Structure 1
Amino acid sequence: MFLAPAVLVYTAVMILPLFSTLQLSLFSDINNSQVFVGLGNFRTLFGDPRWAEQFWNALGNNVWFFVIHMLVQNPIGILLAAILSSPRLRMRAFYRTAIFIPTILSFVIAGFAWKLILSPLWGVAPNLLDLVGLKSLFQPWLGKEAYALTTLALISVWQFVGIPMMLIYAALLSIPDELLEAAECDGITGMAQFWKIKLPLVLPAIGIISILTFVGNFNAFDLIYSTQGALAGPDFSTDILGTFMYRTFFGFQLQLGDPNLGAAIATAMFVIILIGVSIYLFGIQRRLRRYQF
């Protein structure tokens, strides 16, 4: 009875649209009528050179986008949480707030602001680097194929590093003081205490952060769209599955929209995320529980 309202709302806004998308991906518009084609849209998406090249490019970019977050955002979040959990650190509340504030900004504001900051014409980045004698290192990072996607990933890291920081910080605070005092009696202090005592105890929280990062990155769209547009330039070097699905479903400029093929891309995204979440739930999480208990 108490769960019924939440279940109804979740079904209306999540479950029904999901099944509608899955159904739409199995049909194709032929002579202005929807005809059942089974897996035909997926064969076109994976096998037709006109579509397959863009799909695999977007998938590869999505993987790299996720890897940057895993290797940069989450370790920095853990490090910041460890520093902020120190009782000897002053102004901890101020630092927590300052680091977390970017996460409440909209993607459009963050993307547009960084686009202005990194602009080689009127941005402040060249002048700031010049103040420290490093102006020669400045590049139009958002305008070069080799750097654009990594730059956007680092912008996303800057915006959302506060989330893993707060989750790990809460997990660290939940560790019983008696356990830490016993470790100190055994001579385990400082960084040794963090690596041997605290880190193993917050592994479940790190696992949750990792899977949330995976789901969020493979659903990403807003930051790329607000900074590089639907074409995800330069030359599709920042194209990810979200922007690829948007162009395919709704159409863009001279490209006509194909809702059926767009639904096939959305279904492929769903399957990828489902596989990743299943691996975590049935593989990694079980091991973390055994390790914890």
Structure 2
Amino acid sequence: MNETNIKRIDKKQRRWKRWGIHLFPLPALIIYGLFIVYPLIAALMYSFFDWNGIVRGAFVGLKNFKNLFTLEPFSGMFWNAFRHNIIYFVIQMVVQNGLAFLLAFVLYKKIRGAEFFKLAFFLPRLLSVIVVGFLWKLILNPNFGALNAILGKIGLESLQKAWLGDPKSALITIILVNCWFGLGFGVLIFLAGLQAVPTELTEAATLDGAKGFTMIRKIILPLMIPSIMIMTVLTFIQSFEAFELVYAMQGSMGEPYFSTDTLAVYFYRLAFGGSSGESSAIGLGSALAVVLFLFISIFTVLFLKFTQKKEVEM
């Protein structure tokens, strides 16, 4: 084989490698486009039309958005669900992430059986959300549920109640179940952040007399801003997309009396009709989906910019 042929083959190989590099992400881009980009564009387009069931009608511009915010009962349902999502986020941040950080800090101290506890905390996350909802619905049943039975056995009959049947406790109960479900993931994220803290800094701070809460506040928390930022953003997104657990435990109507309604559940009811025989309103549902997407995206971007600025300052 002469030198000319060798150069020609080498040139073809380099060309194929160059094409391979560009074509390698193509399958992922196709899947992303079909299941992420296309639904977003379709929802935006659907929101500008009137709908008769699943039949698209006339172009109405921003009318669906206006009706969503100003026309009853849509506006009342929207703000009711929005308030529930905020409550969802606040309780998850305080209970789930606060407890996850404390447990991660305890495991960080290398207690005996740390690996077992990490597995135990994360184990619920391996279950399907629908399965979790079904199991906890059985546990919380007011007639034969395990929770009320345990309260009765230890002499706390006054605390027994229909946890999912009372509008005052139903939403809080579902959120606490969600905190139990997501606790292990938070523990792993915070534990990874703690393990990334240089031991030289903590040892030097210990020699200077820092310990306990002072050590956490002055040394550990500032260095864990990336982990805290990740958990805050993920918790916010999950809180405002809360659907599966609410649907599994209370159905599409946000029972009782819409006290567990969230924006995602309300979207499902608008777009596909409720379990009580409500007709679908695809235009309004699409408008709600667009509003929810924009709200989550804008908040996430602003929060990331804010936390990056604080991280640089600290």
Q: Which moved more, 1:10-19 or 1:186-195?
A: 186-195
Residue 226 in structure 1 maps to residue 219 in structure 2: no
Residue 42 in structure 1 maps to residue 42 in structure 2: no
2 CA distance for matches of 1:159 and 1:40?
39
Q: Which amino acid aligns with 1:91?
A: G
Match of 2:83 in 1: 60
* 277, 280, 284: which one aligns with 1:261: 284
* 194, 201, 208: which one aligns with 1:186: 208
Q: Which amino acid aligns with 1:198?
A: I
SS of 1:29's partner is strand
Match of 1:204 in 2: 226
Q: Which amino acid aligns with 1:72?
A: V
C-alpha displacement of 1:91: 0.1
SS of 2:266's partner is helix
* 51, 72, 88: which one aligns with 2:74: 51
Q: Give the CA RMSD over aligned residues.
A: 1.6
C-alpha displacement of 1:66: 1.1
Q: Which moved more, 1:159-168 or 1:184-193?
A: 184-193
1 CA distance for matches of 2:254 and 2:83?
14
1 CA distance for matches of 2:306 and 2:212?
32
Q: Which amino acid aligns with 2:284?
A: L
* Cα distance change of structure 1 residues 138 and 289 upon mapping to structure 2, 3 Å threshold: farther
Q: Which amino acid aligns with 1:146?
A: K
2 CA distance for matches of 1:6 and 1:184?
49
Match of 1:214 in 2: 236
SS of 1:35's partner is strand
* 67, 73, 78: which one aligns with 2:101: 78
Q: Which amino acid aligns with 2:188?
A: M
Match of 1:290 in 2: 313
SS of 1:183's partner is helix
SS of 1:28's partner is strand
C-alpha displacement of 1:130: 2.2
C-alpha displacement of 1:159: 0.6
Residue 241 in structure 1 maps to residue 270 in structure 2: no
2 CA distance for matches of 1:275 and 1:12?
23
Residue 170 in structure 1 maps to residue 192 in structure 2: yes
* 272, 291, 298: which one aligns with 1:250: 272
2 CA distance for matches of 1:202 and 1:111?
32
Residue 275 in structure 1 maps to residue 310 in structure 2: no
Q: Which amino acid aligns with 1:206?
A: I
C-alpha displacement of 1:202: 0.5
Match of 2:147 in 1: 125
* 9, 12, 15: which one aligns with 2:37: 15
Which ranges in structure 1 are unaligned for 5 or more consecutive residues? none
Q: Work out the percentage of aligned pairs sharing the same amino acid.
A: 38
2 CA distance for matches of 1:156 and 1:51?
27
Q: Which moved more, 1:201-210 or 1:126-135?
A: 126-135
* 149, 159, 164: which one aligns with 1:142: 164
C-alpha displacement of 1:33: 4.4
Q: Which amino acid aligns with 2:42?
A: S
Deviations 1:96-118 (A, max 9, x none): 11011111111111111111111
Q: Which amino acid aligns with 1:282?
A: K
C-alpha displacement of 1:3: 4.3
Deviations 1:226-280 (A, max 9, x none): 0101111001110111111111101123211121111111111112112211221
2 CA distance for matches of 1:254 and 1:91?
52
